[in-house]
């Protein structure tokens, strides 16, 4: 396992200024959330993390990032609607010239609040569903009212003139109903639908046995999605269906965040700055916006510089003729599955740890819908935090 590196060590390295810009800022405003999705990408120990940034601190982050070239700002969480200053943050972001996107479960939303967001200048709202079936949706969300509220809010978002952008996270419990999911999206007159199979980080990693679909389930879902795409296009329906497969059924990894520290910047509720929203799990001490400017964080910090370029690579990536394509894949996946954040992403069939992926696929064939699930909530998070 790689050793812990500190922010202090980075200042001694005198790394040269990097030419990239944080074009995409993800503001994780809070880890609070009324739901408990077992595939949530928040850290397992989120309950133990520090105080949330204040309104002024967030606005300062937005200003600094905008000066550095950031153009898109996503409000996420947890559930960002929990923040009572969301309207103010949206208005500030708008006045700074950002294109803004609210990523929400819809719980805590109402017609007045959507109107207030519109007034404040919010460009885009994405509502996530757990399933097309009320019982499954509410079981996974941990709320008996979630499905009804989501339907209502999806309709309201559209009625107030926003494009309807829906996100369905698919997994073993809902992927066989992909036809019903798509039909629901059509009924709701969605414009864009992301049918995104879970990626196995955070709580999803903890629950991967219960959530990872089999290869046959995945292939069937993709085929049905393609058939619907053709049918809907022939009917003149402009809906866009985006199907995302899990890394676990690939033979080559994806380039992590389009390159580490290239365009993405995530700021967590307590102000920790990350090159990717999952990176907090790595044994790296990431900088905090309360202690450092974003200029310093982006260009000088160890956390942002360590995986830039390919100097950090070890074999088989170092001498691989495909390394420009994927930069060795995801550092978090390497850390979780190979126990070494500098290793090749085990998704890659050239990785000596690829067997972990094959084992997970085999386990998916065995597991059923009764495999136990650990829900994402404060109580379970405190157990993880205690270690
Ligand atoms: S994935 Fe679910 S539990 Fe996690 S923040 Fe989103 S709505 Fe809440
Ligand atoms: S060995 Fe490394 S660089 Fe080569 S394809 Fe696999 S992950 Fe990518």
The domain spans of the chain are: 24-249, 256-366
Secondary structure element (H or E) that encloses residue 106, with its range:
none
Using a pLDDT cut of 90, give the percent of the chain over it: 83
Q: Is the pLDDT of residue 16 over 70?
A: no
| Cα distance between residue 269 and residue 282, in whole Å | 18
pLDDT of 125 strictly over 50: yes
Atom nearest to 347 CA in ligand 2: 7
Please, are residues 6 and 285 in contact by the beta-carbon 8 Å criterion?
Answer: yes
Decide if pLDDT at 124 tops 50: yes
Q: Which residue has a Cα nearest atom 7 of ligand 2?
A: 328
pLDDT tens digits, residue range 347-384? 999 999 999 999 999 999 998 878 899 999 999 999 99
- Nearest alpha carbon, ligand 2 atom 6: 348
Distance 32 CA to ligand 1 centre (A): 9
Q: Give me the residue label for tokens 């300062």.
A: 60
Give me the mean pLDDT over the 97-102 stretch: 97
Per-residue model confidence as pLDDT tens digits over 155-176: 999 999 999 899 999 999 899 9
Q: What is the pLDDT of residues 215-272, one digit of tens each?
A: 999 999 999 999 999 999 999 999 999 999 888 999 999 998 889 999 999 999 999 9
Report the DSSP beta bridge partners of residue 129.
168
Under the banding of pLDDT at 50, 70 and 90, the label for residue 331 is very high
Report CA(42)–ligand 1 centroid distance (Å). Answer: 8
How close is the Cα of 266 to the center of ligand 2, in Å? 25
Is 33 annotated to bind a ligand? Reply is yes
pLDDT of residue 15: 45
Chain mean position to CA 334: 17
- Residue 368 is predicted with a pLDDT of 80
Q: What is the pLDDT of residue 17?
A: 56
What pLDDT does 18 receive?
64
- What distance separates the 2 farthest-apart alpha carbons in the chain? 62
Please, which residues bridge with residue 101 across strands? 74, 124
Q: How confident is the model at residue 7 (pLDDT cuts 50, 70, 90)?
A: very low
Percent of the chain with pLDDT over 70: 95
Please give the pLDDT value at position 11.
Answer: 36
2 vs 154 pLDDT, higher one: 154
Q: What gap in Å lies between CA 336 and CA 338, rounded to an integer? A: 6
76 Cα nearest atom in ligand 1: 5
pTM exceeds 0.85 for this model: yes
Contact 263, 24 (CB under 8 A): yes
Question: Measured in angstroms, how far is the CA atom of residue 78 from the centroid of ligand 1?
Answer: 6
Among the listed residues 245, 271, 279, the one whose alpha carbon sits nearest the alpha carbon of residue 347: 245
pLDDT of residue 4: 31
Summarize the confidence of residues 65-91 as an average pLDDT: 97
CB distance 296 to ligand 2 below 6 Å: no
Q: Are 363 and 172 in contact (CB under 8 A)?
A: no
d(CA 387, CA 379): 13
pLDDT in tens, 270-312: 999 999 999 999 999 999 999 999 999 999 999 999 999 899 9
Considering the four listed CATH numbers 3.20.20.70, 3.40.50.720, 3.20.20.450, 3.90.320.10, the one that applies to the domain covering 24-249 is: 3.20.20.70
Identify the pLDDT of residue 256: 85
Q: Please, which contacts does 285-289 make with residues 24 or more away whose CB atoms are closer than 8 Å? A: 285/4, 285/5, 285/6, 285/7, 286/7, 287/7, 289/53, 289/57, 289/60, 289/61, 289/64
Q: Which of 176, 308, 317 is nearest to 253 (CA)?
A: 317
Nearest Cα neighbor of 136 from 173, 181, 176 is 173
Q: Interior CA angle at 256 toward 377 and 20, to 5°?
A: 115
Residue 19 — pLDDT band, cuts 50, 70, 90?
confident
């Amino acid at each position: 396992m790689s050793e812990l590196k500190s922010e202090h060590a980075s200042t001694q390295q005198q790394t040269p200024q990097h030419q990239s810009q944080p074009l995409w800022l993800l503001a994780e405003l809070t880890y609070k959330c009324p739901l408990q999705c077992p595939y949530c990408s928040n850290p397992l120990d989120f309950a133990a993390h520090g105080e949330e940034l204040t309104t002024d601190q967030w606005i300062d982050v937005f200003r600094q990032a905008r000066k550095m070239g950031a153009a898109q700002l996503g409000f996420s969480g947890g559930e960002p609607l929990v923040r009572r200053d969301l309207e103010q943050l949206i208005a500030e972001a708008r006045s700074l010239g950002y294109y803004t996107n609210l990523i929400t479960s819809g719980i805590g939303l109402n017609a007045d609040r959507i109107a207030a967001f519109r007034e404040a200048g919010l460009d885009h709202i994405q509502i996530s569903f757990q399933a097309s079936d009320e019982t499954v949706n509410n079981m996974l969300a941990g709320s008996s009212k979630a499905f009804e509220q989501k339907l209502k809010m999806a309709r309201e978002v559209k009625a107030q003139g926003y494009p309807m952008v829906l996100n369905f996270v698919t997994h073993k419990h809902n992927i066989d109903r992909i036809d019903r999911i798509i039909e629901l999206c059509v009924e709701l007159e969605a414009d864009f639908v992301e049918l995104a199979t879970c990626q196995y980080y955070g709580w999803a990693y903890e629950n991967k046995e219960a959530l990872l679909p089999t290869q046959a389930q995945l292939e069937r879902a993709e085929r049905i999605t393609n058939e619907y795409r053709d049918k809907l296009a022939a009917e003149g329906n402009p809906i866009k269906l985006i199907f995302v497969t899990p890394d676990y059924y690939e033979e080559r990894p994806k380039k992590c965040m389009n390159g580490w520290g290239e365009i993405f910047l995530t700021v967590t509720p307590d102000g920790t700055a990350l090159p990717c929203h999952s990176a907090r799990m790595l044994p790296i001490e990431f900088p905090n916006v309360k202690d450092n400017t974003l200029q310093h964080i982006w260009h000088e910090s160890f956390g942002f510089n360590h995986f830039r370029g390919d100097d950090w690579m070890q074999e088989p990536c170092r001498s691989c003729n495909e390394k420009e394509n994927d930069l060795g894949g995801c550092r978090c996946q390497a850390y979780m599955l190979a126990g070494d954040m500098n290793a090749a992403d085990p998704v890659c069939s050239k990785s000596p740890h690829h067997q972990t992926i094959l084992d997970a696929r085999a386990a998916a064939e065995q597991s059923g819908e009764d495999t136990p699930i650990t829900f994402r909530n404060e109580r379970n998070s405190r157990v993880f935090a205690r270690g």
